[in-house]
Structure 1
Amino acid sequence: MPMRFASNTSRAVPLHVIDQEDMSALETLPASVKTWAETNGFKAALGEVLAVPGEDGTVSVALVGYGAPKDRARKRFGLAAARAKLPAGTYQLQGSLEGEALDEAALGWLLEGYRFDRYANQSRPVAELIAPDGVDAARLEAIAAGEALTRDLINTPTQDMGPADLEQIARDLAVQFQADIAVTEGEALLEQNYPMIHAVGRAAHLPDRCPRLIDMRWGEEGPQLTLVGKGVCFDTGGLNLKPGGSMALMKKDMGGSATVLGLARMIMSLGLKLRLRVLIPAVENAVSGNAFRPGDILTSRKGLTVEVNNTDAEGRLVLADALALADEETPDLIISMATLTGAARVAVGPDLSPFYATRPEDADAIRNGAKHVADPVWEMPLWSPYETMIEPGIADLDNAPKGGFAGSITAALFLNRFVTDTPRYMHFDIYGWNPTSAPARPKGGVGMGARAILAALQDLLDL
């Protein structure tokens, strides 16, 4: 389904937004429309649709319910549900929506158009929308395209989205937006001092499955933003093998890299005045005779030693080497994104994006951006008293502290140890998966935090 606004604006059907608590807008419509609404019991519930036929039997007017404020507060993109219910055709939004509410309605319409159709044809006639007056159509289409990329990458099974496939996606983006890209893979990771990326990925030794570090750069002026995304294309748990039920969704363990690439696409498509660097350690955490083991002590790019107490806590290991590389340039801001801990899901569920920030001002900017673009976040604390939990004594750091307490916080503290020269660092511990379908968010892979970051960049980097 299209994730763009309608290009053919002729014969557009008026689509009237009706507020459930103030249905006076019906009074402004022809009496026949009001009568049709009353006859059909139209209540203006959020996302409720009523098509009004004209004399020739085609839709002449359509109504969509806006619900009550409490409904809108509990369901993001509620109006987007109308898209799947309306007859195919071109529609033009009518009503009193403006500002952020109008932006949310227009973006939700675009996002509702997403379908993952790589393996099954899901095409059908659809309802299209003319870009409403007052919205930045190009910006919303760029956001929708970035989100679609993220969803596609997460939804694709690992047989078609291994490390080499993830690299190819990054290369395609680099070509599309005239970015530079370099990739270090296999044994060259050891030669160029990325030992933990190599250790985690070395068990997947086939050429298209071997570990690699993807390094993409774009932009020649402005502040430098470095995005680091966890690219574990499948996570068996390694020798600490996951049970079958826990392994079922592990194609999404590269959700951090998918979200970073989607965000990078948004930034490049919008031509933001900044210097962007994207780092993705792409690996499979596989099982073979040369897999890394519990009890191993790895020496990181940073020089810090890490005791491996669980091979299923591998994401922070590959991120650590990539973060150390990012830190060597001391960019203006480093942001890492990862489907890192189950502890974060227990804490906040699948909808919220937990994040950590080394500066309160940066956290404020993210929160402010998030509330304006319907991309909810929740700040978590880099609680320094827990530092001792990641210090095993036999090595500098422990990748999987015992006890199970504060698992998301200790993971973020672990990563923060590898960003020592860059004052401004943020980490997002996202889920990357929508467990049940909702308006504009079908079941499956989903971007989290990207729109909030994009909205916050103006304040974060003084663009």
Structure 2
Amino acid sequence: MTYPLTQPRFAPAEAQALNLTVIRAEDWPALSETHPQRDWLRASGFEAGLGELRLLPGPGGILGAVAGLGSAQARRRQRFGLAKAIAALPEGAWTLQGDLTPAEREEAVLAWLLQGYRFDCYRAKGRAGALLVAPEGVDAARLLAMAEGEYLTRDLVNTPAQDMGPAQLQAAFADLAARHGASFQAVVGDDLLPGYPMVHAVGRAAAPDRAPRIMELRWGAEGPALTLVGKGVCFDTGGLNIKPSNGMQLMKKDMGGAATVMGLAHMIMTLGLKIRLRVIVPSVENAISGNALRPKDILTSRKGLTVEVNDTDAEGRLILGDALAWACEEESDLLVSMATLTGAARVAVGPDLAPYYTDDAAVMAALEAGAVKGFDPVWRLPFHDAYESVIEPGIADLDNAPGYGFAGSVTAALFLRRFTDQRPYLHFDLYAHSPSDLPARPKGAVGQGARAVLGAVQGLWGV
């Protein structure tokens, strides 16, 4: 398959379009006195609630539509709420009208693009949906690039593991590089042993056609250097510390970090940002066979640090350790890792927030601003130095799964930080999945953190 399977798009500027007028709930009482179809709207019970839609009838059919943007409280509680109305519009071209702030208009446009996502390659295809004529006053190219990157991430994560093993992820990564004129290389199978021993150890039990690998994309010749590292565990059985059945149900998404950095890379390259981009993805299937990694094995990493394996189900941090060590052999202005790493992060902040770690105040400020601009909420968790001793088992330099019982996301982040020699370092512990249908985010794969990082690098470096 070639990803993304479908592309977000705007309607042609010259298309015959109907108007969708968006109204805030607090503005509706006054507007209801002057709207040309006020009688119809009142009779229908329209109150401009978030996502509420009314088609406006006329003698020749539909004249247009009005949609509610809800109250200020409703807008704070639900991102992309307008997507509910957009999804119910008849097919065809539409324009976006209404007295909206610049941020409200950008959120509405991004919601429109994201709600058009469908993952239907394994079923009958649904209807095409309504298309938006790109409105004036927004950065349409940036919003479209963000939606394209999100579509790519969602497609990669949604694809079942039978069709998205390490080799297929490599093919998608190589295709992304080729589309943007980037260089690409991969080290596969036993060739990993000299330089990436932990990647090899985690992935060696998989079938030969699903052999472990580490991949690298490079793009751009000038500007600040940005390195992205994404966890690419294409399926996680837990290894010999096997997961229970319900624990495997979502494990096709364990390459969500890789999918997210690929989506982010697409955004950066599509927008032509003046940066030097490097993307590293270690990819494995954590399988079970006679040569599988065992509990209490001790691995020597690329960095030279030894790691006692106390749980073969804590494999993501092992492959990221080698990848981060490789990343740090070359200086960059910002190093970012993204991974579906711990259940503890979900317990802490739930599925809708992307928790992150950094000790750099400038990066934190830029990321928080980028999250607001990209409608991509994030939340900072601490690199708490007092827990460093927890990840030191005594028999080796590091423990991949300390039996501490607390702060599982924090201790995992501290483990990864041991493999980084440079600052600033930014780490995301992602979920990459929406457990239910939400506006512009259907149940299944969802991007997290990428739009926030895009805004952060643009804010930090003025690119």
TM-score calculated relative to the size of structure 1: 0.97
Q: Give the equivalent residue in structure 1 for 2:42.
A: 38
Q: Give the equivalent residue in structure 1 for 2:69.
A: 66
Gaps of 5+ in 2: 1-5
Distance 1:163 1:131 in 2: 38
Alignment partner of 2:208 out of 201, 206, 209: 206
Q: Give the equivalent residue in structure 2 for 1:299.
A: 300
Instruction: Give yes or no for contact 2:13–2:134 (8 Å, CA) kept in 1.
Output: no
Q: Give the equivalent residue in structure 2 for 1:5.
A: 10
Q: CA deviation at 1:35?
A: 1.1
**1:436-447 aligned within 5 A:** 436-447=436-447
Q: CA deviation at 1:113?
A: 0.2
Q: Give the equivalent residue in structure 2 for 1:50.
A: 54
Q: Give the equivalent residue in structure 2 for 1:450.
A: 450
Q: Give the equivalent residue in structure 2 for 1:268.
A: 269
Distance 2:14 2:51 in 1: 23
TM-score calculated relative to the size of structure 2: 0.97
Q: Give the equivalent residue in structure 1 for 2:196.
A: 194
Instruction: Give yes or no for contact 1:44–1:65 (8 Å, CA) kept in 2.
Output: yes
Q: Give the equivalent residue in structure 1 for 2:31.
A: 25
Instruction: Give yes or no for contact 1:194–1:301 (8 Å, CA) kept in 2.
Output: yes
Q: Give the equivalent residue in structure 1 for 2:3.
A: none
Q: CA deviation at 1:87?
A: 1.6
Instruction: Give yes or no for contact 1:18–1:26 (8 Å, CA) kept in 2.
Output: no
Q: Give the equivalent residue in structure 1 for 2:332.
A: 331
Distance 2:43 2:116 in 1: 31
Distance 2:127 2:7 in 1: 10
**1:364-379 aligned within 5 A:** 364-379=365-380
Aligned AA for 1:45? G
Distance 2:383 2:292 in 1: 31
Q: CA deviation at 1:27?
A: 4.1
Aligned AA for 2:179? Q
Please tell me whether residue 80 in structure 1 is matched to residue 86 in structure 2: no
Distance 1:263 1:170 in 2: 12
Partner secondary structure for residue 355 of structure 1 = strand
Q: CA deviation at 1:122?
A: 2.5
Distance 2:58 2:139 in 1: 32
Partner secondary structure for residue 187 of structure 1 = helix
Distance 2:423 2:462 in 1: 16
Q: CA deviation at 1:61?
A: 2.0
Q: Give the equivalent residue in structure 2 for 1:412.
A: 413
Q: Give the equivalent residue in structure 2 for 1:310.
A: 311
Distance 1:47 1:2 in 2: 24
Q: Give aligned-pair identity as a percent.
A: 59
Q: CA deviation at 1:8?
A: 5.2
Distance 2:149 2:82 in 1: 21
Which range is displaced more, 149-158 or 77-86? 77-86
How big is the alpha-carbon RMSD for the aligned residues of Structure 1 and Structure 2? Answer: 1.1
Partner secondary structure for residue 395 of structure 1 = coil
Alignment partner of 2:164 out of 157, 161, 166: 161
Distance 2:132 2:124 in 1: 23
Instruction: Give yes or no for contact 1:2–1:110 (8 Å, CA) kept in 2.
Output: no
Distance 1:125 1:399 in 2: 47
Please tell me whether residue 119 in structure 1 is matched to residue 122 in structure 2: yes
Count of residue pairs the alignment pairs up: 457
Aligned AA for 1:76? R
Q: Structure 1 residues 27 and 2 mapped into 2: Cα distance closer, same or farther (>3 Å)?
A: farther
Instruction: Give yes or no for contact 1:306–1:395 (8 Å, CA) kept in 2.
Output: yes
Distance 2:206 2:448 in 1: 28
